Structure 1
Amino acid sequence: MRRLPFEEPVTRAGPLARTVAGLALFVSLFALVLVRDPRAEAGPALATLGAGLVLAVTAVGLATFAFVRVWREGARGLGAALAGLFVACLILAYPAFVGLRALRLPALTDISTDIDNPPAFSRSRTAFAARDGRYPPDPGPAARASQRAAYPQVAPLTLDLDADVAFELARKAAVNRRWQIVEAIRPGGRIGNGRIEAVSRGLLLNLADDVTVRVHPRADGARIDVRSASRLGSHDFGGNADRIRAYLDEVANLAIAVK
């Protein structure tokens, strides 16, 4: 009696997961190039990035299905499934981190060190042009109450230095943070406050956010307040608070070096 050759089962989901993950990587990298290009529109670029994330999630699903077949039937294709899962997880790692922050933090897009009297953004023609004709609206009482509960450590910086010196340190810190300074008005004049208007861009997506710094002269030195507002979306994922803390830490370190 002739014996039929035994054919080991093969799962097509494993190689397919690897292929889809590779496509997701290509689409995501292409989207990052688009997002970081100042000439490209942010909306279509972010939509392309979203497509890359959807492909990565699909690759995870295919890899999971392949693992089930390998476990139950001993099918081949485990290596391809693991490769697809690894690439997909690399793509999804940072979005997952951002998603966890979104669950933990309130949906805010405008953070200020002075909740009761936040620094006002400049209404000059130059500042409007730098903000693409946008003027960030003042958040309501509910948003400020949410900020107070979520970010109690976001507070003004008081320096026992002359206001002019404090202003120069604030300007230098903005340069060190690679902000695009739009306006820099020294303390003095009718109001007395100094002001720095700037545009800050994210490290990964290079999206623009608006920042204004107020330097208020005091009898014993100067007080520095900062306000940072996102241009896109309804949630900053803690980015504005992180920006303010990092900036004020930079100013404080510069002040220590001056003394």
Structure 2
Amino acid sequence: MRRLIVEEPVTRAAPWALRCGWFAVAVVAIALLLVRDPRAETGPALAALGAGIAVALLAVALALGAFVRVWNEGARGLRTALGGLFLAALVLAYPGYMAVRGAVLPRLTDIATDIADPPSYSRSRAAYAARGGALPPEIPPAARVLQREAYPQIAPLTLDLGPNEAFALALKAAGNRKWQVIEAIKPGGRVGNGRIEAVVRSRLLGLPYDVTVRVRPRADGARIDVRSAARYGDRDFGQNADHIRSYLEELSNLALAVK
């Protein structure tokens, strides 16, 4: 009497989900290295990063398809599909977080503590070179209204210190935040205001953000205004406001320490 050997069905989607998951991890890792490398072109590197995210989404779809067949037919491949889903989740975790922030926050690329009279960016040769030859455009009135609604806590910082002392602390705070300072002009001269021009890079991607700090002398001390603008994309996902908040917090702590 012959025995009938019944082979359990095996889902093909599971191994493909795992392959796509590993491929997405590799592509995103290479793209992150390119984005953070100042010698590489940022545009193609961001395109490669987007391709890696798309492959990760494909891995999720394949894993979900494998789960359906495992549930309905008892097919093998559950662990493989879970592996692909896990790898895809690693790739998509941060983009998903940023997508949520982008959905909640308004589409802004330029934030300033003074929306009525935002600090102007330097037009010097060194500043233009640091910004890649670009000059952030002026903030339109509509964007100013959106900023006021989204970030009511973004406001100037007033210090009861002399302008020169306040400028020194502002420069120190920029160094503590690991900003790349391009220019540092002390208060005085014809205009009277001090200015710090810098480039800030995001932690993960290392994308550049152009920042300018204005130190304006007052009768009772000095007023600090900060402006931060994204260099790429049509929205900043709250990064500019984060730069300003962290900087002013650092400056406030330094000012308290000298009293």
Equivalent residue runs for 1:156-235 within 5 Å: 156-235=156-235
**Is 1:14 paired with 2:8?**
no
- What is the CA-CA distance between 1:3 and the residue it aligns to? 3.1
Aligned to 1:199, the other structure's residue is in SS state strand
1:250 maps to a residue whose letter is E
Q: How does 1:93-172 map to 2 (within 5 A)?
A: 93-172=93-172
Structure 2: distance between partners of 1:258 and 1:81: 58
Unaligned runs of 5+ in 1: none
Structure 1: distance between partners of 2:201 and 2:190: 32
Amino acid across the alignment from 1:94: Y
Distance 2:218 2:87 in 1: 55
1:54-109 C-alpha deviation (Å, 9 max, x unpaired):
11000000000010011111111000000110110110011011111111111110
Return the offset for 1:207: 1.1
Take 1:78 and 1:70, find their aligned partners in 2: how far apart are those partners? 7
Aligned to 1:67: 67
**Offset from partner CA, 1:160-191 (integer Å, 9 cap, x none):** 11111110110001011111111100011111
Q: Which runs of 5+ in 2 are unaligned?
A: none
Aligned sequence identity (%): 66
SS of residue matched to 2:225: strand
In 2, Cα distance between equivalents of 1:128 and 1:5: 74
Are residue 237 (structure 1) and residue 249 (structure 2) matched? Answer: no
Q: Once the 2 structures are TM-superposed, how far is the Cα of residue 212 of structure 1 from its aligned partner?
A: 0.3
Task: Count residues in correspondence.
Answer: 259
The TM-score, its normalising length taken from structure 1, stands at 0.99
Aligned letter for 1:240? N
What is the aligned partner in structure 2 of residue 55 from structure 1?
55
Tell me the distance in 1 between the aligned counterparts of 2:205 and 2:252: 28
What is the root-mean-square deviation in Å for CA atoms of aligned residues? 0.8
Kindly provide the CA deviation profile for residues 20-61 of structure 1, in whole angstroms up to 9, marking residues without a partner as x: 100000000000011011011011000000110011000000
1:24 match: 24
Cα deviation for residue 126 of structure 1 reads 1.1
1:129 deviates by: 1.0
**TM-score relative to the length of structure 2:** 0.99
**1:5-27 CA distances to partner (integer Å, 9 max, x unpaired)?**
11111111111111110000000
Q: Secondary structure at the match of 1:188?
A: coil
User: Which residue in the other structure is 2:249 paired with?
Assistant: 249
Aligned partners of 2:37, 2:204: CA distance in 1, in Å? 12
Give SS of 1:33's match. helix
Query: Which 4+ stretches in 1 moved above 2 angstroms?
Result: none
Q: 1:64 corresponds to which letter in structure 2?
A: L
